[in-house]
Amino acid sequence: MNVGRRPKRAERREECFGLRRSTAGWVGKARAALARLCILAAPLALCGCLEAAADLAPSVEAHHQIARREGVNLAQASVAIVSIEGAPAAILANFSPILEREARARDIQVVDAASARYLARGYLSAAPTEDGASIEYVWDVFTADKRRAQRLSAEIDVKGSGADPWALAGEAALKGVAAESADDLAAFLSDTPEAAAPAPAAGTPLSYAPQ
């Protein structure tokens, strides 16, 4: 997402301390006052700058770096699909049930927001390409206390022609986006504290028991 052009480093530093350079002469006269102000204000102002930078800096890994952990049960790592935005209403109406089916096929427990361990907010976008369209999804996954835990994203290429990329988003394309989304969600959920290895069946000997 384009968050706008970042200010130059020197300008950022000056804005961070609540100052703006106007003329070289003014800076020369105010040097002593600036030094004193920086000593007093730097701890608080710098803290604010770091918080702002943390909001903008990527804090999550790319989706392709996440692999589903095998042999775990996702029953307790439930998720609620809180919202999906970005696409036309008709596309979203078709996509939502497809996504839920794909999620359940991967043992994801889709529940309501009130009882979910994780909350997922999705965004779809489409752009024309030389031979069709590219449909991108972004999922922000939050913990129950609304702290973002992971961002998942990928692009799906669709073949076809036409000025409107959403016109190429038929059932097959939406199923592909839903399947990729479900794969990513399952991979993330499999590595959460709630995902547990299944208990051994009753009467199953331990691996170190004598045969």
Query: Is 200 a member of any domain?
Result: no
Average pLDDT, integer, range 73-86 = 96
51 & 72 share domain: no
Q: What is the pLDDT of residues 100-121, one digit of tens each?
A: 999 999 999 999 999 999 999 9
Residue 101 lies in a domain: yes
Does residue 141 sit in the same domain as residue 49?
no
Query: Which residues share a beta bridge with 32?
Result: none
Residue of higher predicted confidence among 21 and 77: 77
Contact at 8 Å (CB) between 176 and 50?
A: no
Q: Kindly give, in sequence order, each residue whose CB lies less than 8 Å from that of residue 136, ignoring residues fewer than 6 positions away.
A: 124, 125, 126, 127, 153, 154, 155, 156
Q: Are residues 130 and 34 in the same domain?
A: no
Q: Report the candidate in 190, 103, 188 with the shortest Cα–Cα distance to residue 148.
A: 188
Q: Which two tokens stand for residue 18?
A: 């609540």
Residue 126 falls inside a structural domain: yes
Q: Containing H/E element for 140?
A: strand 132-143
Looking at the structure, do residues 50 and 71 belong to the same domain, yes or no? no
Is there a domain that residue 197 lies in? no
Assess whether 84 and 117 both reside in one domain: yes
Whether 148 maps to a domain, the answer reads yes
Domain identity same for 75 and 157: yes
Question: Are 195 and 72 spatial neighbours (Cβ–Cβ below 8 Å)?
Answer: yes
Predicted local confidence at residue 143, as pLDDT: 96
- Residue 177's CATH number: 3.30.160.150
Q: Is the pLDDT of residue 9 over 50?
A: no
Q: What is the mean pLDDT of the chain?
A: 75
pLDDT in tens, 124-161: 999 999 999 999 999 999 999 999 999 999 999 999 98
Q: What's the CA gap between 36 and 11, in Å, rounded?
A: 19
Tell me, what amino acid is at 46?
A: L
User: What is the predicted pLDDT for the residue at 146?
Assistant: 92
42 and 115 in a single domain? The answer is no
Residue 24: is its pLDDT beyond 90? no
Find the domain containing 119 and state its range: 63-190
H or E segment at 177? helix 171-190
Instruction: Give the span between the Cα atoms of 158 and 168, in whole angstroms.
Output: 7
For residue 201, what pLDDT is reported?
A: 57
